Amino acid sequence: MTSPLLSRPSAETRRAAPNSIAIVTDAWHPQTNGVVRTLSTTCEILRRWGHDVTVISPEDYPSFPAPTYPEIRLAVTWPGAVGRQLARIKPEAVHIATEGPLGFAARRYCMNRKVPFTTAYHTQFPDYFARRTGLSADWFWPYIRRFHRPAERIMVATETIRSQLRAQGLTQLTHWSRGVDLSCFSPDAPPPPEYAALEGPIMLYVGRVAIEKNIEAFLESARVGTKVVVGDGPARAALQAKYPDAVFLGKRTGRDLAGCYAGADVFVFPSKTDTFGLVMIEALACGTPVAAYRVPGPVDILSDGVGAMADELDRAIARALGLDGADCVDYAAGFTWEAATRQFLNGLVALEDEQCVSLQATPAL
């Protein structure tokens, strides 16, 4: 018997599990961040399950580097361009992943045709912009509310973010967690050769090297040992000059990245603005306990025995150094990308037949 995921489904089946899915995102390769890893892994698993997934990204359009984020490309779109792509794709579900130019273009096209779509809240943009401008985050919440309010469902990764969005009047929320590739991230990943000469304990940060990640709080720590930073970003040169005793290894991926986690004594997550913090469960999967502030993200992910949270980062690091790596590995095994992808699939809104027809009506040039 042929699986409904491998053939064109009936209207009833399509409403239960859309086969053709369009994902619109302003965050895509070659960017390296949690949003891109989440979307690319989700697409990979959906395709493995037999779904037809098309990603509309800045790769498809002329683009320019975002101010202060040159590796992030902002697409230059024109009226109807994203709509024409959606019309060609003929999707049975539309997911708009980001609040950028492509996201707004797809949102406008769907709204004009009364076609339902889902969105996701990946990034704490109000907090990010507040850190960069010095303005209150309250100035930026109207943008977030306006973007997400028309969505049929908004996917969120944690209960804390769910509560935060509810407080902003966004209530059509559904859960979409995250996972870790346990075949890649494991305690037996060989540490990088640079670790051999370092004084212990090795304290590790992994992620974008940018102001909103609060990396200075980590580098200012008074803990004895070596601080290692893995990743790249606009703040790297300044931080490297200011903290010459820290070791900056640049961007690492795959098993090389896993080895950076596995060879460290503690993973330090200083960010106060992340919605989830994918790097935390990658570290745990490699047997490395996590130290973090008691803020959204860590409070939703960490539990006693695998992480330590405190209002002072030094205190969290001291407590995390005493935790058992085996407990971290066992805990991380509960975060699978397959489970997260099922949540994503269940959160989509499958289009009715007449909505499919409306979506496929090619817009005027």
For residue 14, the model assigns a pLDDT of 39
Mean pLDDT on 75-95: 91
| Chain segment 245-271, per-residue pLDDT in tens | 999 999 999 999 999 999 999 999 999
All domains of the chain in start order, with CATH: 11-179+339-359 (3.40.50.2000), 193-335 (3.40.50.2000)
- Residues 42 and 188: their CA atoms lie apart, in Å, by 25
As a whole number, mean pLDDT of residues 164-174 equals: 97
Give pLDDT, residue 148.
98
3-state SS record for 86-136: HHHHCCCEEEECCCCHHHHHHHHHHHHCCCCCEEECCECHHHHHHHHHCCC
Residue found under tokens 């302003």: 26
pLDDT band per the 50, 70, 90 thresholds, residue 10: very low
Confidence category of residue 68, pLDDT binned at 50, 70, 90: low
What is the rounded distance in angstroms from the CA atom of residue 52 to the CA atom of residue 165? 31
Q: Give the mean model confidence (pLDDT) for residues 135-150.
A: 93
Lowest mean pLDDT among 75-84, 106-115, 171-180, 230-239: 75-84
Please give the model's pTM, rounded to 2 decimal places: 0.89
Residue 57: is its pLDDT beyond 90?
Answer: yes
Mean pLDDT of 302-308: 95
pLDDT at residue 322 is higher than 80: yes
> pLDDT tier at 31 (50, 70, 90 boundaries)?
confident
Q: What pLDDT score does 363 carry?
A: 67
Please tell me the predicted confidence (pLDDT) of residue 8.
35
Which pLDDT score, from 0 to 100, does residue 361 have?
A: 77
Mean pLDDT value across the chain: 91
Averaged over 162-182, what is the pLDDT? Answer: 97
pLDDT of residue 69: 65
pLDDT tens across 69-84, in order? 666 778 888 768 999 9
Round to whole Å and give the CA distance between 170 and 14.
Answer: 27
Three-state SS string across the chain, please? CCCCCCCCCCHHHHHHCCCEEEEECCCCCCCCCHHHHHHHHHHHHHHHCCCEEEEECHHHCCEEEECCEEEEEEECCCCCHHHHHHHHHCCCEEEECCCCHHHHHHHHHHHHCCCCCEEECCECHHHHHHHHHCCCHHHCHHHHHHHHCCCCEEEECCHHHHHHHHHCCCCCEEECCCCCCCCCCCCCCCCCHHHHHCCCCEEEEECCCCHHHCHHHHHCCCCCCEEEEECCCCCHHHHHHHCCCCEEEECCCHHHHHHHHHCCCEEEECCCCECCCHHHHHHHHCCCCEEEECCCCHHHHCCCCCEEEECCHHHHHHHHCCCCHHHHHHHHCCCCHHHHHHHHHHHCCCCCHHHHHHHCCCCCC
pLDDT tier at 16, thresholds 50, 70, 90: low
User: What integer pLDDT is reported at residue 364 of this predicted model?
Assistant: 60
Q: What are residue 281's phi and psi, to 5 degrees?
A: -75, -25
344 CA to centre of own chain:
13
Pick from 41-50, 133-142, 245-254, 291-300: least confident = 133-142
pLDDT at site 136: 87
Q: State the pLDDT at residue 77.
A: 84
User: What's the mean pLDDT in 190-195?
Assistant: 98
Phi-psi region of 262 (alpha: psi -120 to 50; beta: other; left: phi over 0): alpha
